[in-house]
């Protein structure tokens, strides 16, 4: 791989220990994936930052990097394992909170903004078409590549941090035109509406792609999709299919940049989605927990929830996971008061997957196919998918 003079100096240690370590990580990845050079990144999103995932070894690595490491580009953080202001309220134990704060402090020392959200594109880390990024968090990666038309690989925590500290990433994978072509067509022959249905579609396509060898899907037949629909779809197709990029005819910006694939067409009908829905509803579920906000809820979703909950009372534990900055907008708009008066809770900075809540509930209902996957696999909950409206009916009955 060809390095510029400055990149070589970074590797040689002229810019300090953390920069050298970061450049070692990036050049190693570049060699493995046959990159020709480095490219400058305009922003970074770091994931895998719950103390639940990192443990003591991860924290040690971060403290080491924070000794002399400073980020060179806009860098934001994924959800952590707790609400930073109200962790006791959510039953998080003191030792976990102490360790989680050490993780956040190490990132903050390096200049990472502790946004603690998986929707950086909704809260200021908003790239534009064609920019190179180094983002971790599979749902956000898929959104950045597909919906925005920016370019990022699915980074891991250490490689994303390495890019933040150097402002560089190796030029391979989704940074290259040749790897962004759609390879398999999905023709949707039914109307898809709402976050739950887009999640079901993501699972259906994702499941097929796993068998097809994880090719980039080119999707036709969708008339319209909101930002919330697309964020749900991205989270689902990334979870079930490992997909980091798709094209959607008439919706995503690169759908007509590359020629439409001529090979294999899969048709998806209502009956297919009904089957997926039944796979995401456990027979003997007794719902005691409702979770909305995977990926983190937008202000528009919060506004919808407030209007549906107005004057009602939830009878089950009800969490809305969102970015703290979005919650502040909801406070200003008066939505938070309506929601909290109804007995629902905002869980900022965290989500029901990265927080240590295994065993805390028996049956979880969510509008997100991704939340259902991890609720079942990681937290051992029985699960049920439904629209936001159905979640609210379940919570208030």
Task: Pick the binder of ligand F3S from 69, 295, 356, 375 (CB under 6 A).
Answer: 295
In the complex, minimum distance from the CB of residue 211 to ligand F3S, in angstroms, rounded to a whole number: 24
**Concatenated DSSP letters for 282-318?**
-TT----EEEE-SS---HHHHHHHHHHHTT----SEE
Which part of the chain contacts ligand F3S (CB under 6 A), choosing from 95-103, 164-172, 250-258, 293-301?
A: 293-301
In the complex, minimum distance from the CB of residue 289 to ligand F3S, in angstroms, rounded to a whole number: 14
Site for ligand F3S in 203-262 (CB under 6 A): 235
In the complex, minimum distance from the CB of residue 296 to ligand F3S, in angstroms, rounded to a whole number: 6
Sheet strands (E) in 1-105: 38-40, 43-46, 74-77
Sequence-distant (6+) residues with CB within 8 A of 246 are 142, 146, 182, 205, 216, 217, 218, 219, 237, 252
Q: Is 374 in the site for ligand F3S (CB under 6 A)?
A: yes
Q: Is 354 in the site for ligand F3S (CB under 6 A)?
A: yes
Which part of the chain contacts ligand F3S (CB under 6 A), choosing from 29-37, 163-171, 263-271, 288-296?
A: 288-296
219 SS3 class:
strand
Q: Is 357 in the site for ligand F3S (CB under 6 A)?
A: no
Q: Which is nearer to ligand F3S, 296 or 382 (CB)?
A: 296
Task: Pick the binder of ligand F3S from 168, 204, 296, 327 (CB under 6 A).
Answer: 296
Q: Is 383 in the site for ligand F3S (CB under 6 A)?
A: no
Sheet strands (E) in 197-283: 217-220, 247-248, 265-268
Q: Is 157 in the site for ligand F3S (CB under 6 A)?
A: no
Task: Pick the binder of ligand F3S from 20, 180, 247, 370 (CB under 6 A).
Answer: 370
Look-up: residue for tokens 């969490």?
Answer: 319
Task: Pick the binder of ligand F3S from 139, 145, 336, 396 (CB under 6 A).
Answer: 139
List for the chain the helix, strand, coil content (%; round to 5): 45, 15, 40
Q: Is 192 in the site for ligand F3S (CB under 6 A)?
A: no
- What is the DSSP secondary structure assignment for residue 145, as one 8-state letter? I
Euclidean distance between CA atoms 191 and 164, whole angstroms: 41
In the complex, minimum distance from the CB of residue 303 to ligand F3S, in angstroms, rounded to a whole number: 19
Q: Which is nearer to ligand F3S, 184 or 245 (CB)?
A: 245
Sequence-distant (6+) residues with CB within 8 A of 57 are none
* CB-based burial label for 199 (10 Å; 0-12, 13-18, 19+): buried
Q: How many CB atoms lie within 10 A of CB 126?
A: 13
Total residue count of the chain as it appears in this document: 397
Task: Pick the binder of ligand F3S from 76, 145, 146, 321 (CB under 6 A).
Answer: 321
Cis peptide before 295 (omega within 30 of 0): yes
In the complex, minimum distance from the CB of residue 293 to ligand F3S, in angstroms, rounded to a whole number: 6
Q: Is 353 in the site for ligand F3S (CB under 6 A)?
A: yes
Q: Given the rule CB under 6 A, which residues bind ligand F3S? A: 78-79, 118, 139, 235, 294-296, 321, 351, 353-354, 370-371, 374
């Amino acid at each position: 791989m060809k390095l510029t003079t400055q990149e070589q100096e970074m590797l040689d240690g002229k810019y300090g220990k953390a920069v050298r370590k970061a450049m070692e990580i990036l050049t190693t990845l570049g060699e493995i994936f046959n990159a020709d050079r480095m490219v400058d990144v305009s922003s970074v999103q770091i994931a895998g930052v719950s103390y639940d995932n990192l443990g003591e070894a991860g924290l040690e690595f971060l403290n080491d990097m924070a000794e002399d490491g400073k980020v060179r580009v806009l860098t934001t953080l994924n959800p952590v394992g707790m609400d930073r202001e109200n962790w006791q309220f959510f039953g998080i134990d003191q030792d976990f909170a102490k360790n989680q704060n050490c993780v956040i402090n190490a990132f903050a020392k390096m200049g990472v903004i502790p946004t603690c959200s998986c929707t950086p594109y909704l809260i200021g880390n908003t790239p534009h078409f064609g920019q190179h990024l180094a983002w971790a968090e599979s749902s956000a990666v898929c959104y950045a590549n597909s919906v925005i038309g920016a370019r990022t690989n699915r980074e891991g925590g250490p490689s994303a941090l390495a890019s933040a500290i150097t402002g560089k990433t190796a030029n391979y994978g989704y940074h290259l035109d040749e790897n962004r072509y759609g390879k398999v067509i999905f023709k949707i022959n039914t109307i898809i509406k709402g976050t739950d249905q887009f999640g079901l579609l993501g699972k259906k396509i994702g499941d097929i792609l796993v068998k097809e060898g994880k090719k980039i899907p080119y999707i036709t037949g969708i008339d319209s999709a909101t930002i919330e629909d697309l964020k749900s779809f991205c989270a689902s197709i990334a979870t079930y299919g490992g997909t980091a990029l798709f094209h959607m005819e008439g919706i995503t910006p690169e759908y007509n940049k590359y020629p439409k694939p001529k090979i294999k067409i899969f048709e998806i009908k209502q009956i297919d989605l009904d089957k997926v829905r039944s796979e995401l509803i456990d027979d003997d579920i007794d719902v005691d927990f409702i979770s909305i906000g995977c990926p983190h809820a937008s202000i528009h979703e919060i506004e919808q929830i407030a209007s549906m909950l107005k004057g009602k009372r939830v009878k089950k534990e009800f969490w809305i996971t969102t970015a703290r900055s979005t919650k502040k907008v909801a406070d200003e708009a008066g939505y938070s008061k309506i929601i909290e008066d109804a007995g629902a809770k905002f869980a900022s900075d965290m989500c029901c997957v990265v927080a240590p809540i295994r065993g805390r509930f028996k049956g979880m209902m969510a509008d997100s196919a991704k939340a259902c996957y991890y609720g079942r696999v990681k937290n051992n909950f029985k699960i049920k998918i439904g629209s936001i409206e159905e979640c609210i009916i379940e919570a208030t009955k």
